[in-house]
Structure 1
Amino acid sequence: MGLFSRKRPDQSQQASDASRPTIDKAQRDPAARQLITAMERRDWASARGFLQSVRDPDDHAFYISVCADVDGVQDWIGEWVAAEPQSTLPLLVQGAHGVFWAWEARGSARAEATQREQFDLFFKRLRFAENCLDEVADRDQYDTTARAFLLTSGVGRQVDLEEQQRRFQDVVKRHPTHKWAHGAMQQYLCRKWFGSHEQMFAFARQTSGYAPPGSQLHGGLVEAHIEMWLDLPSGEDVEYMKRPEVGAEIRAAAQRSIWHPSYQPRPGWPKLHNSFAFAFWQCGDMQAAIDQFKLIGYTYITDHPWHYMGGGDPVDYYLNAYGGGR
């Protein structure tokens, strides 16, 4: 197949079942793996002990998202909320999980391919999630995580731009470089949601302009180019990514983030490197792509952005790119 094709890779290029890598929701983060195990066992005491020790706002949002993405949390989280009514933590986990649970009901298809019943359940779960998150924000003036998740739910609730910007400012006035908040705001501004390519790129470039050297926020430029690639018809997408100015901006983003001497991987770092690997590969910048593939290997594969390649398994698409890049 062509290097940039969105078709499913040939079976001959896939790893055997015995050696086949998998996507780890914990992204090979030991603490995240322990959190997932605790949540699966309904051991909220262990989850609480760790989450209360996390001080960095970006790390906190990552670990809350790990808890929120565990299947079945909705079946028992109410017990934790009832057991500790003075604490906002169980309510935060309940609200964040509600956001994930809502998107699970909606599915990943575009609006025109989503059933009315799915939308009804989606909005019902989002309203519940926002009630929880709003209560956390009301009770904890220093909170950033609930406020950041309200940006994600805002996309689903189809709030207007003024409201979404209010939610964004509510986070960044507490933590100016909040990674989750910036990612959610940029998604809102994508053409596939409620913005335009121009708004998306303006936000990504403005963010990169004030983000400090080594910040993951510079990766927003890479995500913007990936979103542009995704929105273009087959053929035009390949031509777009091979434009010299596109590759130059992606390399400049790498210089300011993952290639900068002050860059330090934080919890959840594999997603950023997978995005850079994908973008370099699509641009034909093979040495830069190979460097990222070597770092990711078969261990740190993430669903994003490989799931954008089509309806197949993201691991297959990654392996095809990884094999073609060596």
Structure 2
Amino acid sequence: MVDTMALPLPFGRASRPTRTIEHPAVGLPADAEVLLDAPDDRLGPALVAAGQGAYEVAAELLAATRLKAQWERRDGYALRLAAFARSRPEWLEAWCAAAPHDPDALLVRAQLAVDRAWQSPARAELLRGVSPLITAAARADDRDPVPWRIALDHARGSRAGHTYFGELWEAALRRAPLHYGCHVAALRYLASSWHGSHRECLDFADRAAQDAPADSLVQALPTRAVLAYLNDGCGPGVPPERLATAADRAIALSARFPAADLWPAAVRNKLTYVLVRLGRWEDALEQLRLIGPYATSFPWIRFSDDPLGRFLEVRDEVRQQTASAPPRSESAGHPRSGRAGRVHSGDH
């Protein structure tokens, strides 16, 4: 989840000293053209209206995703709207007052409550008080898997046991067996419960990907497990070929989407980080070409308070490595040494 920037609109170019680096030779946009967490053409107007205190555009957007069962889009929009409401809650408060039983208002309200509780040292205790809001959102539309994704995140933060989490997981799967957000939530729970047991987390992700269609976002789940492994100081138990196979799955998924497409930008940003850590510079450069101008805060915010600046630095490093080294480094598949970065609330 991306923290809201302290600007009226929670997207755009981050402020920093002007850079003049251009990348025409490798097909990358200039630094000044790169955006952080840009919204798509459906979310953008909703955020603009919310910045003006109006909720109606957001209500129409989420209602459309629910009616059309666009659960992945709905999940992403709910996360972004809740992130905006953390610093600008007036529009959401007005929405909840005007339509207290609206499934879409209840969804954003539940997400916002989890986000706020997550920031506190008393997280587990505060999250327990959020349960009624999540229950209300789930009951408002029984088809919707997104409240169950919120419930899975809530269960992890409140240190729920495996039995209870398993019940939530089964309920989520009944509603949308391929919902990527729920799979990511389950992977995070397993990672926190099996700390250091990255083989088991990768097993879970691999099984899910093997059962999913080739164009499903679940194909990127093993790369999420690899990212967690790399950021946990690696550790024993995961052969390099498994890391490479996970990256290859995500590369194949990325190739199914157009270049410079907002929809797979989050997957491509995480994949680029993993490829860099694996020393696969040519593959990383190709993902950067596909990313185009669309940087995402995660994973770069784990290593810098300026995620866009960090993204641009990594992009420069990839360009330099591919310009000076033979293609397809022999070190591919072997992660570079390094300590895990800071864990931010933006990806809880």
TM range (shorter): 0.7 to 0.9
Structure 1 position 253, deviation (Å): 3.8
Match of 2:283 among 285, 288, 291: 288
The amino acid of 1:258's aligned partner reads S
Say which is worse superposed, 125-134 or 38-47, in terms of deviation: 125-134
Kept in 2, the 8 Å contact 1:57–1:145? The answer is yes
| In the alignment, structure 1 residue 60 sits paired with structure 2 residue 74 | yes
Q: Separation in 1 of the partners of 2:93 and 2:145?
A: 22
Quickly say closer, same or farther: Cα 1:246–1:44, change in 2 above 3 A: same
Kept in 2, the 8 Å contact 1:155–1:193? The answer is no
Q: Hey, what does 2:306 align to over in structure 1?
A: 313
Kept in 2, the 8 Å contact 1:101–1:125? The answer is no
Match of 2:98 among 62, 73, 83: 83
Quickly say closer, same or farther: Cα 1:265–1:179, change in 2 above 3 A: farther
The amino acid of 2:121's aligned partner reads F
| In the alignment, structure 1 residue 325 sits paired with structure 2 residue 318 | yes
Report the secondary structure of 2:294's partner residue: coil
Report the secondary structure of 1:305's partner residue: helix
Q: Hey, what does 1:38 align to over in structure 2?
A: 49
Structure 1 position 215, deviation (Å): 1.4
Quickly say closer, same or farther: Cα 1:180–1:195, change in 2 above 3 A: farther
Q: Separation in 2 of the partners of 1:61 and 1:45?
A: 18
Say which is worse superposed, 45-54 or 138-147, in terms of deviation: 138-147
Kept in 1, the 8 Å contact 2:262–2:294? The answer is no
Report the secondary structure of 2:76's partner residue: helix
Q: Hey, what does 2:36 align to over in structure 1?
A: 24
Moved over 4 A (4+): 17-23, 73-76, 191-195, 261-268
Kept in 1, the 8 Å contact 2:36–2:308? The answer is no
Kept in 2, the 8 Å contact 1:151–1:184? The answer is yes
Q: Separation in 1 of the partners of 2:207 and 2:249?
A: 14
Give me the identity figure in percent. Answer: 20
Quickly say closer, same or farther: Cα 1:265–1:317, change in 2 above 3 A: closer
Kept in 1, the 8 Å contact 2:106–2:133? The answer is yes
| In the alignment, structure 1 residue 303 sits paired with structure 2 residue 314 | no
TM-score between both structures, scaled by the size of structure 1: 0.78
Structure 1 position 198, deviation (Å): 3.0
Kept in 2, the 8 Å contact 1:197–1:228? The answer is yes
Structure 1 position 21, deviation (Å): 6.4
The amino acid of 1:295's aligned partner reads L
Q: Hey, what does 1:72 align to over in structure 2?
A: 87
Structure 2 unmatched ranges of 5 or more: 1-15, 21-30, 320-348
Quickly say closer, same or farther: Cα 1:294–1:265, change in 2 above 3 A: closer
The amino acid of 1:321's aligned partner reads V
Structure 1 position 68, deviation (Å): 0.8
Report the secondary structure of 1:30's partner residue: coil
The amino acid of 1:144's aligned partner reads P
Q: Separation in 2 of the partners of 1:312 and 1:87?
A: 36
Q: Separation in 1 of the partners of 2:261 and 2:33?
A: 23
Q: Hey, what does 2:4 align to over in structure 1?
A: none
Report the secondary structure of 2:18's partner residue: coil
Structure 1 position 192, deviation (Å): 7.1
Q: Hey, what does 2:325 align to over in structure 1?
A: none
Structure 1 position 60, deviation (Å): 0.9
Report the secondary structure of 1:304's partner residue: helix
Report the secondary structure of 1:16's partner residue: coil
Quickly say closer, same or farther: Cα 1:195–1:263, change in 2 above 3 A: farther
Q: Hey, what does 1:174 align to over in structure 2?
A: 175
Q: Separation in 2 of the partners of 1:314 and 1:262?
A: 24
